[in-house]
Amino acid sequence: MPALNKETVTIARCNRYDPWEVRAALEQVFSPYGGITTLIGSDKRVLLKPNLLAAASPFETVTTHPAIVKVMVEMVQEAGNRVYIGDSPGYDAQEKAHRISGLEEVIKATGAEALYFSDPVYKKIEGFRLWEIPLASELNQVDLVINLAKLKTHSLTGMTAAVKNIYGCVPGTIKARFHFEYPLPKDFSRLLLDAYFAVSPVFSLIDAVVAMEGAGPRKGRPRQVGLLMGAPCAIALDLVAAAVIGFSPEQVSTLAAAKELKLKGSNLNSIAIRGVSLEDCRVKDFDRGPASSGRFSRMLALFPFARIKDLIAARRPYPRIKTEICSGCRACNEACPAQAIGFKGSIPDIDEKNCIRCYCCQEFCSQGAIELVRR
């Protein structure tokens, strides 16, 4: 097996979720490591961790596309391994999320086993924010994890891809509790890095065949990017993915945190890109969404002092209910870790004094009835 350069990222063209095209692209992604068998070996229990944010159809681009999960299951099985698929959706039950996202079909067709993330087991770490982290106990049933992320905009962190995807290994409502305890993007991003290093996936892939632009991660618009990307280092992979869709590292809070901590993979100049060149795949007019694009994020990049950056970051947008399309389903109220959402009749009413601007409500509103507005 060739020596693994942790800061090598491979970009492969993949314009459709056609199984043959996906397979060819994935083989290209794994080729710098001598193929997937060389990379992960045989006789292992391998967990594939897709982005399963919510029960959403593949056309909504909320979740990792089932065609990619299916081909990955087949490749890992062909290498002589036992495959599991698991995640902890933020709001919907995992069975429902599997059914609607197409993963149930993948499980039936391939014989992969579903792991339903339930109780946490606390793992001791020397993290950037945590000294122990609650991870799904089911992770103890597997030997290694492969991270199957989706490329989307994200209202809190700017962009969600490989690093943030691992946060799904923190089960259930604990995720919301951490939002409450670490409301600033900078602190929350350090916690996301804690989760990433605690799980330590052997390899990360990003499904950017069709990404999500605009008001991600739940209600943005599908955007054809036509790429599959992969790397052992999720930070390096996210940095390259961010460059593809026009984010600077300062506009993605996980990358800004990694850069501040001088983590490996956080400097684009030290990353070797294989396959398609970065210049050939940049998407120049990608809509980076309301929370991170424009003047606000560019201002953050200009200020060298952490305290000034914190003050600017505190002026983040507030959620506002679009009453004309709200269905009164109360999902936002249940998702709010700060209990800042009451009701006036059937319409939610946000108490801005208590709102910590975590945007969980926007993430879990299936109607797209919550927008972010600046004062």
For residue 332, state whether it binds ligand SF4 (rule: CB under 6 A). yes
350 near ligand SF4 (CB under 6 A): yes
Among 45, 296, 326, 371, binds ligand SF4 (CB under 6 A): 326
334 binds ligand SF4 (CB under 6 A): no
In the complex, least distance from residue 306 CB atom to ligand SF4, rounded to whole angstroms? 24
Q: What are phi and psi of 39, to 5 degrees?
A: -70, -45
Radius of gyration of the chain from its Cα atoms, rounded to whole angstroms: 19
Closest CA to 313 of 100, 157, 130, 140: 157
Sign of CA dihedral 87, 93, 95, 101: negative
Which of 48, 130, 240, 331 is in the footprint of ligand SF4 by CB under 6 A? 331
H or E segment to which residue 40 belongs: helix 36-40
Report helix, strand or coil for 75: helix
Alpha helices in 223-330 (DSSP H): 234-244, 253-260, 278-281, 295-302, 306-313
210 part of the interface to ligand SF4, by CB under 6 A: no
Does 359 bind ligand SF4 (CB under 6 A)? Our answer is yes
Name residues contacting ligand SF4, limited to 282-321 (CB under 6 A): 319, 321
Decide whether 125 or 174 has the Cβ nearer to ligand SF4. Answer: 174
Among 370, 371, 373, 375, binds ligand SF4 (CB under 6 A): 370
d(CA 198, CA 344): 42
CA-CA distance, 201 to 223, in Å (whole number)? 27
Contact predicate 121/134, CB 8 Å: yes
- Cβ atoms of 298 and 247 within 8 Å: the answer is no
37 binds ligand SF4 (CB under 6 A): no
Among 224, 330, 349, 374, binds ligand SF4 (CB under 6 A): 330
Which of 341, 342, 349, 373 contacts ligand SF4 by CB under 6 A?
341
**DSSP string for 171-191:** -TTHHHHHHHHS-SHHHHHHH
- Single out the segment in contact with ligand SF4 by CB under 6 A; choices: 33-41, 44-52, 108-116, 325-333: 325-333
Residue 173 C-beta: closest distance to ligand SF4, Å:
13
Name the residue nearer to ligand SF4 (CB basis): 264 or 374.
374
Interaction between residue 242 and ligand SF4 (CB under 6 A):
no
Cα 71 from Cα 321, distance rounded (Å) = 40
Choices 6-14, 31-39, 265-273, 351-359 (CB under 6 A): range interacting with ligand SF4: 351-359
Q: What residues line the site for ligand SF4 (CB under 6 A)?
A: 319, 321, 326-332, 335-336, 338, 340-341, 348, 350, 355-361, 365, 367, 369-370
